[in-house]
Structure 1
């Protein structure tokens, strides 16, 4: 089993959600995800989300609130070797953009960044973590509890 800790930013502005499109190393898999990614060894998750938002979208960000932590185990849809089991721990933050400009990442794990109207998110092929992040963002009062979202793998369709 592989374990991965990652930080993700939830940024909603004018009724749209900031998303990035993940591309697998062989470019066979593409889906929308929240800007974010792996927390490097010794890195604080807050620093990771700020770094990842800028790398993937071009925006400088500030982490305003810890929304919650999600933990799930699943068989990866793509892996080397195929069928690896992943324990994914996601740390979700509400972020505010403080500068920069929207641009696509080059040479990374995503190929484009976009503002997507909230009403259109459910129609996208997307990582399950998008639904987790939005559920945490909508939750009031903010408890940090991740409500059950039935997913069998990494993607939602």
Structure 2
């Protein structure tokens, strides 16, 4: 089994959420929250600030920890044959943008970042982590956990 620890930014301002459109040869186009893999010896708190800057061009400050999500992607649902089962543990933070301008990620997979009304999110092909992050921000559970988001249709791993 492969494993990934990641940190994600949930940024809701003026009734809109910040999303990035990730494009890859294997996965096609998919909307996601700014965020990514925690580097070796890096604090997830620092990861989320770094990832927002890298992927969107914006500066962010962490307002609060929202929660965590752990999911296992079966080998049969991985994007290429022969890949092992994969566990992704995501830590979600509420962030506020303090500066910068939206732009594509230089040399990366995020080709655009946009402010999107939450009502429009349901019509987008997106990562399940978008729904997890929005649910955490909306409900603010004391446990830091929301029910798993089923994948299928427009929702991907």
The alpha carbon displacement at 1:145 in A equals 2.8
- What's the TM-score, normalizing by structure 1? 0.89
* Structure 2: distance between partners of 1:8 and 1:120: 20
The Cα offsets for residues 31-89 of structure 1, whole Å up to 9 and x where unpaired, read as: 0000000000010001100000011111100111000011110135424x544311000
- What's the TM-score, normalizing by structure 2? 0.89
Aligned CA-pair RMSD? 1.8
Partner of 2:101: 101
Structure 1, unpaired ranges of 5+: none
Distance 1:23 1:43, change over 3 A: same
The alpha carbon displacement at 1:128 in A equals 0.2
Q: Answer whether contact 1:39 1:45 (CA < 8 A) is retained.
A: yes
1:78 aligns with 2:64: no
Q: Answer whether contact 1:66 1:144 (CA < 8 A) is retained.
A: no
Give the number of aligned pairs: 153
Distance 1:123 1:82, change over 3 A: farther
* Structure 1: distance between partners of 2:69 and 2:15: 24
Query: Structure 1 residue runs of 4+, over 6 Å off?
Result: none
Structure 2, unpaired ranges of 5+: none
